[in-house]
Chains A and B, each alone.
Chain A
Amino acid sequence: MKLLSLSWTHRDRVCAARETLAGVPVERVLADLKGRGFAEAVAVSTCNRFELYVAAQANQALAAAPILAALEELAGAALAAQADVREDDAAVDHLFCVAAGLDSLVVGETEILGQVKAGYETAKGAGMTGKRLNVLFQRALFVGKKVRTETALASGSLSVPSVAVQLAETIFGRLEGKSALILGAGAMAELAAKHLAAKGVSKLVVANRTWERAYQLAARYQGEAVKWETFPAELERADVVISSTGAPTAVLTHEIVKAAVRRRGGRSLFMIDIAMPRDIEESVHAIDGVYLYRLEDLEAIVAKNMASRAEAVAAARRIVDAKAAEFVAWARSLSTGRELSLKHSEYQA
């Protein structure tokens, strides 16, 4: 098998070449290569990546130089200097890494899988894929899906607000239709409001000692501002409470929370205390149906997710390596006349 991959990715320090390539329609690239006698080629173009895979028959010569020249002619700019050129095994491995999200700027993002699929389908539609590239890309999509479902690469939030949202979802399921009470109107409160609003929390109530600031924050997220004195009453209705006031002592005492819980008809209450000194008395966590997380709890989860992310990368790497080796063995078997079965391997492991 002869396979060549040319890539321009976010790893390049100079992004001029990538930007120029992003402006060239994939269809034109494929048509141009076809005109020059290349029978099999797939291009994957995203906002921070351009990849071109070209395959040739075993007896055909395949070099990067003429392909680069063709691309430079199309783009009207010098591209060769920044191109990563990979051959055969390395190219297969690279494509599987890309599909698995291991090569992405945000490792583990899953959008790339759809983009690889789109690139493959465009090439297939243009009649630019033969047996090898068809199988190669189908395997790449398979590897991408396998990594997504079998490793924790795409799960586990890596920031405090997203961990808080994820916890809220493990308590309530979907957050649409839920309401949140935000005590304090500082930067942390704003960040929390933003994340909750993005997740579809339907009602945001802001209480702050300074009415003006509560009003401003509420207005920015289509919420409702209430007088500071009335927040214990609001506690009855809220599902998520985020507290970040600058108060010197706890504002949400055990008695206030207990009284509110009694009137809630058994709904769960998720409380997040990101203030220092604390806003919510620790003993509140012992009340049935109340879950209090403090800033350091959320930070500990973030740290743990970071650590398991490294493990997930290693697990994903193992899948990619194994599947790349399998594909290479298959591609070699084509020329021996005794084709190996790839389908079979899907049911192992």
Chain B
Amino acid sequence: MGKTPVDSAPLKGVWTATDEATTGLVRLDIRQPANDTLTLTAYAASASGVMRLAEVGAHCYGPRPSGSGPASAMTAATRSGDLSALLTFYLKGEILVLDAFIDPGPRDARVPHYARELFHRCDDERRRDQQARGLSDDRRTEGARYTDVRPGSPPAPLDVSLLAGDWDNVNGTSPDVRRVTVSVANGLCLQWSSDPSGASAARWSPIVPFAVAADDPTPIGFASRLIAAGSEAIVTSYCTRGILVLDCHIRCEDERRDHLVREFFCRPWSPP
């Protein structure tokens, strides 16, 4: 029996940034022009008004590897000039949460960085309220996240030693990843364990680090791509207040459905 396709209906439509002063994406238009095709058109803040970025393909994920639950997550990759960004989305109480991993490009002085942006479904009443206050697509945004260019020497590579070491899943009953190890000594790479004993898989996977902001090289997370028998995963992570949040967007070639696994990790420690 074939797997049930993931229904993208909860993602489709026009979404608006909750932050009306955003320097990032102002609006998203998610469509399904054909049965097996999902597209994202993003509109970004820029110095010359809100700018439409090129339409890109997107991929949706269910909440679990089995069952029939509709899509609760999505990934896409976008470009704007030399800038590229991995966009990972998930739905939380009808808020579409974007975790963006942005690489400004080789000729940009900004560091590769992480950003979180939130969206709600298009609301005409809110739009009218904003227009009445002079907030339209003509607004000009300095230091825009996706459309600004800051010429200069490429920044120094990020020092991810702050993230290095073992991270244990706070959910002791998780059937998925139990421990994540980030290594700097072996080159920037990631290893994980699904074994309750914490025994790690033999293979290390390279990671790309991201900073907390375009002008702050403090490392906050990373992105990686893992390929295993029967599946391929886009792995992204960010760290906040001692927690490592790990998202695995898993595309399955076997009978499992494409799905998102989100887990929380911390470094076990003992107070003095």
* Chains A and B belong together in one complex: no
What residues make up the interface of A, taking CB atoms closer than 8 Å to B? Answer: none
